[in-house]
Structure 1
Amino acid sequence: MIKAVTRRIDENAGELMRFLLEQMYLRSPAWAPESSPLCALELRERCRGVAAEWPLLHQFLDQYLKVLEESGGGLVRRVGDAGSGQYCVRARHAARQLVTAALDHVVTERLGSKAARIFRLVRSRKYIEEDDIQKNAMLVNKECKQLTYKLLEEHFISVQPMRKAASAGGLAKAIYLYHVKLHDVAHAALELCYRALHNTVRRHAREAAAHARLRDKRRRVTTIVHGMRLRGEPQQNIDDVEETLTPPELAVLQGVEKRLKQLSIAELELDKNLFLFKWYFMFPETN
């Protein structure tokens, strides 16, 4: 949330968001949909204490609060006028916004940017007909239909059949309304994250085990070379020890370490997404 506000506004707004979250942690019940109200006077006292580090935040606190309320993505709202204004953090709304962004990323990675465009369009409307999707998505009809059905197949969108009232002497016409059940889509994405994390951990373990001997050899060489340097041995002797690792072995090690690093980063990203989805599910589903 702090990073989102920093990117959207600036670092001063991010610091203000940090303080609001700290106060939410100290004053509000765990997993509260909204934080307990915090008055602007308390915020001003806090900013006075960090005026040397954040002079603009201290000088323009009222303006930053207004910008945060109006342009902060709905993460903060004003709930009263006492104490120069009272503000609260909308945790449930923040969880929903972050999960929505995560789902957009999942759709983009699995089906491409055009499918993500259709997904965002359907999500922005409560219900939308197939013809309206084709008109608003700015895609070729055939491609738009294929991507829409792919999203439906992957359970990112849902369809609700309905019948239009029949005209005089005519038959009732069936129409299909597409919509996004965010709670169900988040559950599906959560399962994808679990499966991806399982595969990533297994791949990391298999990659490490397959090259365990070579990695252990490099560790032994590194340890020996470090000891030789501490003892002040000649560089020629150190070079002789380092050359026990041949160029092909070094190339293999470089590739292995690169893959292991990528897998570790993937694990961290999946853990982050799992936290977001679980945070979202901590709040009751709302219409």
Structure 2
Amino acid sequence: MTAVEMQLSALLLREHYGEIVDRVGSFLIRTGAQPLRVIVSETGTSSDQVKKALCVLIQHGLVTYQMHKRGFVEYSAQSDRCLRILRFPRFIYTAKTLYGDTGELIVEELLLNGKMTLTAAIRKVADRLTETMEDGKSVEYSEVLATFSQLADTHFVQRCPTIAEGTAEGRPPPAPTLVTEEKEMYIVPKVTLIGRGKRRRSSDDDEGATRSKRAKKDSGVESGQDDGIYWQINMVRFHQHFRDQAVISAVSNKMDQTSSEIVRTMLRMSEVTTSSNAAFTQPLSSNEIFRALPAGYNIAKQVLDQYLTLLADDPLEFVGRSGDSGGGMFVINLHKAIASLAIANLESIVQERFGSRCARIYRLLLRKRHLEQKQVEDFAMIPAKEAKEMLYKMLSVNLVTLQEIPKTPDHAPSRTFYLYAVNPLSAARMLLQRCYKTVANLIERRQFETKENKRLLEKSQRIEAIIASMQATGAEDSQLQEIEEMITAPERQQLENLKRNVNKLDASEIQVDETIFILESYINSTKAKST
């Protein structure tokens, strides 16, 4: 893991889980697998605090542990999952788009808690939905269970692998082994849920133990059917959805809405049966695609065949032919699509940073592979001086490479070919690190803005709390207006500026993360090809 990735992981851990968890997690990311005593001594943190931090990290899947051959437990950080914290808002928004408010809250609760049992998640989501309803109605547990089952059927949530540990007398426990089978990871247990969400009451704080004792009774869950089965977010499935949406958007921009709808249908038919690292989707016949098109999408079979032929003959090669049976078999070339999207991002970055002429040279090198400087000048139709300057600019930031091919062993410049080329994989890795650095800078800037206005934010929160309590007791409008006037006009303007700046920084993080996802997918698909 590079220094930039470590810095970003530390910022994300501190922002979401606090200083102590950040200290322990960053140490494990930096040093690798370590036993408890080393973590305690090196981080300068008490044993109890380290244990609690490790529990939090293990609960959220950010740290794993295994038994060392000498008999002690070693803890190691999952650095990739630490960086995935940046993508949590996109996970929640995707669930809201596909499954509404209920799906959004299910995913949010699983992300907040790391892992939860089915009944605990349903009860919590139903209570939260009930609290937001203004007409006094309550949400049935069965409604939330139906949405949870849909998330499991489409593999957006999955069971946590159960850990089997055995102990022998006089011997330390062996390393935990994961025993959950792949086919069982998406099966929702049959539970009887009778009840509905409850609103929070002021008297609940005084009941404490009584509430916890009757929780199971209120939920109406049959005992023993949900014990020991925990659920978590399937990040791989969310990433697959992000990839599919990027491919659909690219087809829509390149061709038209009908083509993108056909590609969307093909991807939807293969979303569960195709593995995340597969190069192609399952082969589909034109008849199968025709039957799977949305009901309200009126398109003739002959027109569909014409669109499929156009997609298969397009230079992008997003859609490929796999056979002629059943009116023709078609697949989505996933690796080719991701590579095209990544290269389009590289070209866009070159154009934004160096101008349209540099982008023309960059596209020329991508197409021709290797060119001499004179050839670049001729093909790009750019004067020699400007072409030379542009090539050196891109060479200085490693977007372009220069290869020497000598005619003679003495490497004399007059008898050597100097060929310019583009290595997309190397450029993608370099730009990925810059994207990580950009996100880290955005987070630090947002934290600075919040810290500089901490006093004003605390004042605003206190006034909002006072107004909310007075509204609950039926205070008059004049009293509420008097409380609101405690924030002066300059302070209100300062709060609006802060809110606008923070929103811009948050939006920038999400946009940069979209580029990060494309570049990461391209690098991973290239690795999968090579293996």
User: Which residue type is aligned with residue 15 of structure 1?
Assistant: E
Distance 1:9 1:224, change over 3 A: farther
Matching of residues 179-190 of structure 1 within 5 Å: 179-190=421-432
| 1:56-75 deviation line (CA, Å, top 9, x unaligned) | 37673222222322348311
CA distance in 2, matches of 1:115, 1:223: 56
Matching of residues 82-121 of structure 1 within 5 Å: 82-121=325-364
CA distance in 1, matches of 2:522, 2:469: 52
Q: Does 1:248 align with 2:495?
A: no
User: Which residue type is aligned with residue 263 of structure 1?
Assistant: L
Matching of residues 204-215 of structure 1 within 5 Å: 204-215=446-457
CA distance in 1, matches of 2:315, 2:372: 32
CA distance in 2, matches of 1:60, 1:223: 61
Aligned counterpart, 1:168? none
Aligned counterpart, 2:252? 6
SS at match of 1:33: coil
User: Which residue type is aligned with residue 495 of structure 2?
Assistant: L
Moved more, 95-104 or 35-44: 35-44
Q: Name the % identity.
A: 28
Q: Does 1:144 align with 2:390?
A: no
Deviation at 1:212, TM superposition (A): 2.2
Matching of residues 57-72 of structure 1 within 5 Å: 60-71=303-314
CA distance in 1, matches of 2:356, 2:300: 38
Q: Does 1:56 align with 2:302?
A: no
Matching of residues 1-287 of structure 1 within 5 Å: 1-47=247-293, 50-51=294-295, 53-56=296-299, 60-71=303-314, 73-163=316-406, 173-228=415-470, 233-284=475-526
CA distance in 2, matches of 1:156, 1:164: 26
CA distance in 2, matches of 1:151, 1:132: 17
Higher relative contact order (CA 8 A, sep 6+): 1
Distance 1:59 1:225, change over 3 A: farther
| 1:227-275 deviation line (CA, Å, top 9, x unaligned) | 5556654443333222222222222222222221121112112222222
List runs of 5+ in structure 1 lacking aligned partners.
Answer: 166-170
Q: Which has the higher helix share?
A: 1
Deviation at 1:172, TM superposition (A): 5.4
SS at match of 1:282: helix
User: Which residue type is aligned with residue 88 of structure 1?
Assistant: V
- TM-score scaled by structure 2? 0.49
| 1:162-206 deviation line (CA, Å, top 9, x unaligned) | 2469xxxxx953231111011111111111112112222222222
Moved more, 63-72 or 146-155: 63-72
List runs of 5+ in structure 2 lacking aligned partners.
Answer: 1-246
User: Which residue type is aligned with residue 445 of structure 2?
Assistant: R
The answer on whether the counterparts of 1:5 and 1:72 sit within 8 Å (CA) in structure 2 is no
SS at match of 1:23: helix
CA distance in 2, matches of 1:218, 1:147: 52
Aligned length: 279
- TM-score scaled by structure 1? 0.86
